[in-house]
Amino acid sequence: MEIKGKNISIIGAGKSGVGSARLIKKIGGIPFVSDSANEKKVEKYTTMLKEINVEYETGMHSKRVYDCDLMIISPGVPSDAKVIMNAKQKNIKVIGEVELASVFCKGTVIAITGTNGKTTTTSLCGYLFQNCGATTYVTGNIGNAFSEIVLDATDKDFIVLEVSSFQLDMIEKFKPKIAVILNITPDHLNRYENKLENYIYSKFRIFKNQDKTDYLLVNRDDKTIEKFLSPHNSRDFNFSLNETQSNGCFRLNEKIIMNRNGEKVFECEASDIFIPGDHNVANAMAAISAVKLFDFDNDKIIEGLRSFKGVEHRLEFVREMDGVKYINDSKATNVDSVWYALKSFEEPILLILGGQDKGNDYEQVKNLVNSKVKKIYAIGSSAEKVYNFFHSFVKVEIKESLE
């Protein structure tokens, strides 16, 4: 990809936009950042752009954005946005920030996607690599943008990359060494014409450029993945809570075992995984597999599993006071995530539920709420919807705020 001396327009002045601008400038390109939001909303990022002398505009996408040799799209920008459609009509090449960074990446990329659990799995996977002594960058949707770190990584380093369907929509040649698909449930369907299949095939773009030297690591318990998984060139590797795998990681009699070509190469106790819940056992198996495929030390991997305390806002243990444990799961932004959270605890639960409604169907968690939840505190714009659905079988109080 020729960047030096070229005019590059970047749509979106967030973390990815600033990262792209920095990368382009280092390589000798001429970045211009455009964001339709007003400057106050993106002031944090425009301040960074000023510091590195990158020109930008806010509140619009002017004609100047089309005066470019290449357009880079941040993941928050819809793929059918008018600015992108106009650029394509003008035959301007349009790619995403992940695609841009991957062109200049020398390190080994482990890319992780899925509807739920991406951040936890990405963080744990990076933590295990680091605990095994490998120089590792944890990036993508968490931490620094991929474009921020790509020039620092050598061919001996590992990049563990959380990627969303939005980012995968904008790739061309992106080719991870290991592609991980954790699970697929309906989400963000407003971006995909309300068609689950469109969302699924966006996720499956993660392996579209892989070849027989690469691995596709998938959750064999996920029936949606099993139903829609398309032919691919990469080598299959699996993880499952329920079924033995000859090439993969699985749970058997409260042990976590990994086989490679039918031979056991890793074993630990399920209780070695500190973060709670069956879904996190599955997430951990994905992380173990990704690290162990590079033959790192078992004891170091187990040590990492025991010491990894999870990530903020995802079943995060806050404190115990007067016999009550307080758990922050505020990143549970869809009903599926709430289902996993409720399954993770046996103690009676007081549940703060609500916030912004995304067309949630609470039927999925009705039985779990009925059996495990003593009381619901409903908050946010969906508080009344929460009350109407649950109050006939569990106590519900509407609250104006978290306080």
Helix H, strand E, coil C: the string for the chain is: CCCCCCEEEEECCCHHHHHHHHHHHHHCCEEEEEECCCHHHHHHHHHHHHHCCCEEEECCCCHHHHCCCEEEECCCCCCCCHHHHHHHHCCCCEEEHHHHHHHCCCCEEEEEECCCCHHHHHHHHHHHHHHCCCCEEEEECCCCCHHHHCCCCCCCCEEEEECCHHHHHCCCCCCCCEEEECCCCCCCHHHCCCCHHHHHHHHHHHHCCCCCCCEEEEECCCHHHHHHCCCCCCEEEEEECCCCCCCEEEEECCEEEEEECCEEEEEEEHHHCCCCCHHHHHHHHHHHHHHHCCCCCHHHHHHHHHHCCCCCCCCEEEEEECCEEEEECCCCCCHHHHHHHHHCCCCCEEEEEECCCCCCCHHHHHHHHHHHEEEEEEECCCHHHHHHHHCCCCEEEECCCCC
Tokens 């929509």 map to which residue? 169
pLDDT at 130 over 90: yes
As beta bridge partners, residue 326 has: 319
Instruction: Give the pLDDT confidence of 250-285 residue by residue, as tens digits.
Output: 999 999 999 999 999 999 999 999 988 888 999 999
Q: pLDDT (tens digit, 9 = 90+) per residue, 55-87?
A: 999 999 999 999 999 999 998 888 789 999 999
**Is residue 196 within 8 Å of residue 141, measured between CB atoms?**
no
Contact 191, 166 (CB under 8 A): yes
- pLDDT computed for residue 363 by the predictor: 92
Q: Which two tokens stand for residue 369?
A: 């709420």
Query: Is it the case that residue 195 has pLDDT exceeding 90?
Result: no
Identify the pLDDT of residue 194. 58
**Same-fold call for 7-92 versus 316-398:** no
Protein fold of 7-92: Rossmann fold (3.40.50)
What confidence tier does 334 reach under pLDDT thresholds 50, 70, 90? confident
Domains of the chain: which residue ranges?
A: 7-92, 99-307, 316-398
Instruction: Express each pLDDT in 104-126 by its tens digit.
Output: 999 999 999 998 889 999 999 99
Mean pLDDT (the chain, rounded): 92
- Per residue in 145-167, pLDDT (tens digit) is 999 999 999 999 999 999 988 89
Average pLDDT over residues 211-216: 98
pLDDT at residue 189 is higher than 70:
no
197 pLDDT higher than 90: no
| pLDDT bracket for residue 186 (50, 70, 90) | low
Residues 6+ apart with CB under 8 A from 45: 13, 14, 15, 17, 18, 35
- Mean pLDDT for 187-202 is 68
Residue 344: predicted pLDDT: 82
What is the CATH number that goes with domain 99-307? 3.40.1190.10
Identify the pLDDT of residue 313. Answer: 84
| Fold designation for 316-398 | Protein-Tyrosine Phosphatase; Chain A (3.90.190)
Residue type, 381: S
Q: What is the pTM of this model?
A: 0.82
